[in-house]
Structures are given as C-alpha cells and as structure tokens.
A and B are shown apart, each in its own frame.
Chain A
Amino acid sequence: QVQLVQSGAEVKKPGASVKISCKASGHTFTNLFLHWVRQAPGQGLEWMAILKLSPGDIDYAQRFEGRVTVTRDTSTSTVYMEVSGLKTDDSAVYFCAGSPGWYSFDYWGQGTLVTVSS
C-alpha cells in the first residue's frame, strides 16, 4: 500500500517562499505519478502540478507556472514543491497525491497547512 507522508505546517510572510516535502513508500517511487493539489480554507480542491514517470517530466497548472517548482530526490523517494512569492491567498492545505496511473489521484498525503500572514 502506498503511503505519502508530508512535512509539517509552515507559517510564512508575504513574499517569502515555502518548500514542502512528500515522502513515498510502499511502491517503486519512479513508477508513481505524483501530483500537488491545494485546498484553501472552506474551498474546493485545486490541481497544481504533476511529476510524471521517469524521466520525471513536470507539468504545471498555468496559473502556477513560474511560481511553483516541483523537484524530486529518487534516492529518498521524496518529491518537493516550492512556492515562491507567497501571497495571503496562498494560505491553504497542500496535498501530494500519487497513482500508478495518470488518470486519478489514488493515494493522498495527510496535507501540509501553509499560512501566509504578515
């Protein structure tokens, strides 16, 4: 069974950057599609990016292009997402989600709360 464990909550000031991690276990890391999805307080789910199977191409939602960077460390089975130029409306719970196929989000991390406040 795939498990995704994310890093802890963060509090940042506007304009700062935040880097969140998501460590995968229970499945060959390079055989997983890994997504980042966020959920603002009281709001719905918003897809942000996908890390595809080897060689690890990355696609971003257009609204995050240039401000979000996804990287991976295959030696530790960890995917990272960095969001730069934080704004108060970036305050949200950020989830990583993984799947052996690219068509659904089969497994989810526990979520990482990011609070952006001056």
Chain B
Amino acid sequence: QSALTQPASVSGSPGQSITISCTGTSSDVGGYAYVSWYQQYPGKAPKLIMYHIDYRPSGVSTRFSGSKSGNSASLTISGLQAEDEADYYCSSYSRTVNYVFGTGTKVTVL
C-alpha cells in the first residue's frame, strides 16, 4: 500500500482560496469517513486541522474546510494568509494497512 497521492505543491496569493487533493482507493479514502488533515511547519510536529473529512478541531480557523468524493478527499483554505504557508498531509484509515498518510503538499503564499 503506497501513500495517498497529493500534489507536491500548491500556491496562491493572500486572500485567495486553494484546494489540496488527496487521492486513495476504495480500501481507504473511498471506503471510510476517517480522512484527516495535518498542518506541519518546518521542524515542528504536525497539527490536526481536520478529521472525519470535514470536522474542525476546536481552535482551528474556519478558513479550513474539508470534503470527500469517491476515492478523493480535499482540503480547502479560504482567504489564504501568510501563516498558512506550511506542509499539509492527509491521512486515512485503511482496510489493508491500518493507516496511510498522503505524500504531502507544500503550500506557498505568493
């Protein structure tokens, strides 16, 4: 089971919206509502920003939203801000390998 597929990089100007995709299979993303997203700054531990596809933990900005369709999930960041520049990883429960992460996406704020 290889990692879930994410674009290597996504960029946008301040105030714009960007979307990060996360593609898996019917054994993971497509088969369960257990997709989560993590934000990671360089040299820091990841931080949970979305779980159960579209639930935000307390304290996470409402500018972050999640969705899923078929074997793909997405994270949208609205009103892009400089502080959103970080790496983002999706994760899903997997019927075959328990848990799998995405390949990671570097978000750049232009």
Which of A's residues lie within 8 Å of B, judged by CB? 35, 37, 44-47, 50, 59, 61-62, 95, 97, 102-111
With known contacts A44-B101, A47-B100, A50-B99, A106–B57 Cβ distance under 8 A: yes
A32 to B99, CA, bound (A): 17
B14 sits at the interface (CB 8 A): no
Q: Which residues of B contact A59 (CB under 8 A)?
A: 98
Q: How far is the CA of A102 from the CA of B51 in the complex (A)?
A: 11
Are B45 and A44 within 8 A (Cβ)? no
What is the total of A-B residue contacts with beta carbons within 8 Å?
A: 57
In the complex the two chains form, is A61's CB within 8 Å of B98's CB? yes
B72 interfacial by beta-carbon distance below 8 Å: no
Taking a contact as CB atoms under 8 Å apart, the answer to whether B46 and A108 are in contact is yes
Least CB separation from B33: chain A residue: A103
**Are A47 and B98 in contact, with the CB atoms below 8 A?**
yes
- Minimum Cβ distance to chain B for residue A108 (Å): 4
CB nearest neighbor in B for A101:
B51
CB neighbours (8 Å) of B99 from chain A are 35, 47, 50
Q: A45-B104, A108-B46 are contacts. A62–B91 as well, Cβ < 8 Å?
A: no
Contacting residue for B45 out of A61, A95, A102, A104, CB 8 A: A95
Known pairs A45-B38, A104-B52, A109-B45 / 7 extra A-B pairs, C-beta < 8 Å: A44-B3, A45-B104, A47-B91, A47-B99, A95-B45, A104-B36, A108-B46
Pair A105/B104 contact, Cβ less than 8 Å:
no
Among B48, B100, B102, contact of A105 (Cβ-Cβ < 8 Å): B48
B86-110: which residues lie under 8 A (CB-CB) from chain A?
Answer: 89, 91, 93, 97-104
Q: Within the complex, what minimum Cβ distance (angstroms) separates B26 from chain A?
A: 18
Contact of B47 among A62, A108, A111 (CB under 8 A): A108
| Cβ–Cβ contact B98 & A45, under 8 A | no
Given A50-B98, A103-B52, A44-B46 contact (CB < 8 Å): no
Asked whether, in the complex, the Cβ of A105 is within 8 Å of the Cβ of B36, the reply is yes
Chain A residue contacts of B104, Cβ below 8 A: 44-45
CB-CB nearest in chain B for A59? B98
B38 touches A105 (CB 8 A): yes
CB proximity of A109 to chain B, nearest CB, Å: 7
